């Protein structure tokens, strides 16, 4: 394993921020973890395990060891009449994996098309879109315990998945490196989920009456491309905040004052409201301050028009939080991981 010093991470985070890593190495194979254990720099400095860098905001240089996971490979580990268990290495691109599975006619993750990032980080925040969450098809993952070097298997219950949550954002945070993830997908009788947002309308526009998984993927790709900025063209990390969940009493209060407020009941008895709506109503949609801005088509996405620093994006996010709190009395929690903020 080659360890480099003072490496720019600009190409390794989708905000395109030019933060530097004091030490930087890439993990090409699981075997290289033995090598990694022998490097002493990561024991003396903070360690940052980097996947696709699609959910990360660097507010300053990272004065530690960045280990970028670059392992590849997809394999079928088990098959039954109806299901296939597919295991993929953590460094696979998520979209590459989705398209590979859809091409094999394996169903269950087609609604999660075009989510940026790597497969290995997808369980950390239980990625979700268009009525589907990663947990719905997740079977298990293998993770390397940093302290001991032991490999552990985590099954679904061990991961404690929630809305953009998992054990890897709680007790297990910074303790494991996810090596591979195994999904259970359908081989036939696919569950076609078109109920969320504009998916049904888009399929109608495409002239498709009884869609298959490939049609659903194509429709969602079309919707996402029109609403969400492509990180290759405009730096961003998808949704910057989570959609807040408030209690019924607070919701009643808000809906008296703001009649049009959209909402969904959660299983736990709360009410989820779209952060994008709150941000738009507070007047931030399309706002720009230097090169940091709020996307014109989706108010939940903060963008880097080119030369914004992480600090500037963080400062803009703070202003949005303050204004939403003042206007609606609702706290917006960042969904993006902020590196460098102590
Ligand atoms: N809305 C606005 N203004 C906007 C955009 C949306 O008022 O600029 C309102 C509309 O009422 C709309 C509602 O917000 O109906 C929901 O919007 P949308 O369907 O675009 O979804 P979202 O709640 O803003 C979530 C995920 C996205 C995911 C979409 C689609 C979170 C934090 N975000 O966004 O995930 O793609 O649903 O399923 O849950 C991500 O995590 O990075 C991400 C992009």
Same domain, 212 and 84: yes
Structure tokens at 240: 């910057």
Q: Taking 90 as the threshold, does the pLDDT of residue 250 lie above it?
A: yes
Q: Which ligand 1 atom sits closest to the C-alpha of 131? A: 38
The pLDDT score that the predictor gives to residue 283 is 98
CATH number at residue 24: 3.30.43.10
pLDDT at 51: 95
Active site residue 164: yes
218 and 189 co-located in one domain: yes
Alpha carbon distance 310, 126 (integer Å):
24
Q: Is 274 in the pocket of ligand 1 (CB under 6 A)?
A: yes
Q: In terms of domains, do 205 and 83 share one? A: yes
pTM passes above 0.75:
yes
pLDDT at 211 over 80: yes
* Total number of domains constituting the chain: 3
179 near 90, Cβ under 8 Å? yes
Q: Is the model's pLDDT at 299 over the cut of 50?
A: yes
Does one domain contain both 39 and 172? Answer: no
What is the pLDDT at residue 38?
A: 83
* Residue 342, pLDDT above cutoff 70: no
Ligand 1 pocket, residue 278 CB under 6 Å: no
Same structural domain, 24 and 111: no
Paired sense of beta strands 271-272 and 264-265, if any: antiparallel
Nearest CA to ligand 1 atom 36: 129
Distance between CA atoms of residues 9 and 58, nearest Å: 9
Could you tell me the residue range of the domain that residue 31 belongs to?
4-69
**Same-domain status, 220 and 78:** yes
pLDDT at residue 269 tops 60: yes
Atom of ligand 1 nearest to the CA of 228: 44
Q: Which one of the listed residues 140, 164, 184, 312 is annotated catalytic?
A: 164
Of 110-114, 210-214, 241-245, 265-269, the range with the lowest mean pLDDT is: 265-269
pLDDT band at 341 (very low <50, low <70, confident <90, very high): low
The confidence score (pLDDT) of residue 340 equals 75
Please name every residue paired with 291 in a beta bridge, in sequence order, or none if there are none: none
Q: What's 255's domain CATH number? A: 3.90.78.10
Backbone angles phi, psi at 341, to 5 degrees: -85, 120
Say whether both 217 and 80 belong to one domain: yes
- Rounded to the nearest angstrom, the distance between the alpha carbon of 21 and the centre of ligand 1 is 32
Q: Where is the domain boundary, 69, 84, 119?
A: 69
């Amino acid at each position: 394993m080659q360890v480099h010093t003072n490496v720019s991470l600009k190409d390794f985070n989708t905000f395109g921020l030019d933060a530097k890593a004091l030490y930087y190495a890439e993990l090409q194979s699981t075997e290289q973890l033995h090598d990694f254990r022998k490097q002493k720099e990561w024991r003396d400095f903070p360690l940052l395990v980097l996947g696709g860098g699609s959910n990360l905001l660097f507010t300053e240089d990272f004065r530690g060891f960045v280990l970028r996971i670059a392992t590849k490979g997809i394999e079928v580990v088990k098959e039954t009449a109806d299901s296939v268990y597919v295991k993929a290495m953590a460094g696979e691109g998520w979209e590459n994996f989705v398209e590979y599975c859809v091409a094999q006619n394996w169903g269950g993750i087609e609604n999660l098309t075009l989510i940026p990032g790597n497969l290995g980080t997808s369980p950390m925040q239980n990625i979700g879109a268009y009525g589907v969450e990663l947990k719905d098809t997740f079977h298990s993952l293998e993770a390397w315990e940093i302290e001991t070097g032991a490999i552990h298997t985590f099954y679904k219950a061990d991961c404690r998945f929630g809305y953009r949550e998992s054990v890897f954002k709680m007790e297990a945070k910074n303790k494991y490196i996810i090596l591979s993830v195994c999904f259970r997908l359908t081989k036939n009788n696919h569950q076609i989920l078109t109920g969320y947002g504009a998916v049904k309308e888009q399929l109608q526009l495409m002239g498709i009456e009884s869609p298959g998984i490939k049609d659903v993927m194509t429709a969602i790709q079309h919707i996402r491309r029109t609403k969400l900025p492509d990180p290759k063209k405009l730096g961003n990390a998808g949704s910057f905040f989570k959609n807040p969940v408030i209690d019924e009493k607070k919701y009643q209060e808000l809906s008296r004052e703001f009649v049009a407020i959209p909402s969904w009941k959660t299983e736990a008895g709360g009410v989820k409201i779209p952060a994008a709506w709150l941000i738009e109503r507070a007047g931030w949609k399309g706002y720009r301050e230097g090169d940091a801005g709020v996307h014109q088509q989706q108010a939940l996405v903060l963008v880097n028009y080119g030369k914004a620093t992480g600090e500037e994006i963080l400062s803009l996010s703070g202003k949005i939080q303050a204004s939403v709190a003042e206007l609606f009395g609702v706290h917006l929690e960042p969904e993006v991981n902020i590196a460098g903020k102590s």
